[in-house]
Chain A
Amino acid sequence: DAGITQSPRHKVTETGTPVTLRCHQTENHRYMYWYRQDPGHGLRLIHYSYGVKDTDKGEVSDGYSVSRSKTEDFLLTLESATSSQTSVYFCAISESPGGRDGYTFGSGTRLTVV
C-alpha cells in the first residue's frame, strides 16, 4: 500500500481530554507533516518534522504538540481537546524538504470532540 498508516481512523473524545494520533511510515522518509482539513479551509499545516527529534510549528499549531522519537513514527497530541479541534487530520511524508517531490498522505483520522 502507500507505506503510511494513521491510527486511529476515527475517534470521539470529550472536551478537555488529551488525545494522541499516530502516524507510522515504512518508507524511511525524513520529512513528516501533520495537517488538518476543515470545510472551507483546505489543508492547513499543524506541525512538521525534518528528522528524529527535529520538529517545528506550522500555521495552526496552537493547542497541539508533536514528537518524533523514531524515523517511522510521528505523534500528534492535542493537549486538552476543544470542539474547535474537531476535524480530519492527515499525516503526510516526503523524501524532499518542503514536499518538493510531492507528498504521500495517510488515510486520515476523523476526530470529533464533544
Chain B
Amino acid sequence: GENVEQHPSTLSVQEGDSAVIKCTYSDSASNYFPWYKQELGKRPQLIIDIRSNVGEKKDQRIAVTLNKTAKHFSLHITETQPEDSAVYFCAATPSGGGADGLTFGKGTHLIIQP
C-alpha cells in the first residue's frame, strides 16, 4: 500500500516568516494530495489539496507544490501568524484506485514564535 513520509516532525518559525513542510509518497498511482490542519483538541480540517495534473496551487497565504517525478509534495505558508500554530498532516490517495482511505503522514507540529 501507500506510504507517506512527512518532515519535519516539529517546526518553529518566527511570526511573519515562511514555513515549509515536506512529504514524500511511495505509490506513483496516487493522484490526490490533501493537507489537513489540526488545532489542539480539535478535529483535522482540510486546508488545501492538489491533484496530480497540477504542479502548484495557492490559496491566500498557503500554497502546495507537487513533483510527481520525485514523488514529493510540500506545503508553504507565508507571513506566518499565531493562528497558524497547529499540527499539519499531509495525505495521499490509496493505491489501486479503490475505496480504502487516505494514507496520512505522521504530522508536523508548527510553532509560531512571537
Contact = CB atoms under 8 A, between A and B. Distances in A.
Contacts of A85: none
Nearest to B100: A48
B104 A43 contact: yes
Interface stretch (A18-26, A63-71, A72-80, A103-111): A103-111
A102 B44 CA distance: 11
Given A90-B44, A102-B49, A43 B100 contact: no
A52 B45 CA distance: 26
A33 B43 contact: no
A31 B99 contact: yes
Interface in A74-105: 90, 92, 97-100, 102-105
Question: How big is the A interface, by class?
Answer: 20 to 34
B89 interface: yes
A98 B98 contact: yes
A57 to B, nearest CB: 9
A42 B94 CA distance: 16
Interface string B26-57: 00000110101000001111100100000000
Interface of B: 1, 6, 31-32, 34, 36, 42-46, 49, 89, 91, 93-94, 97-107
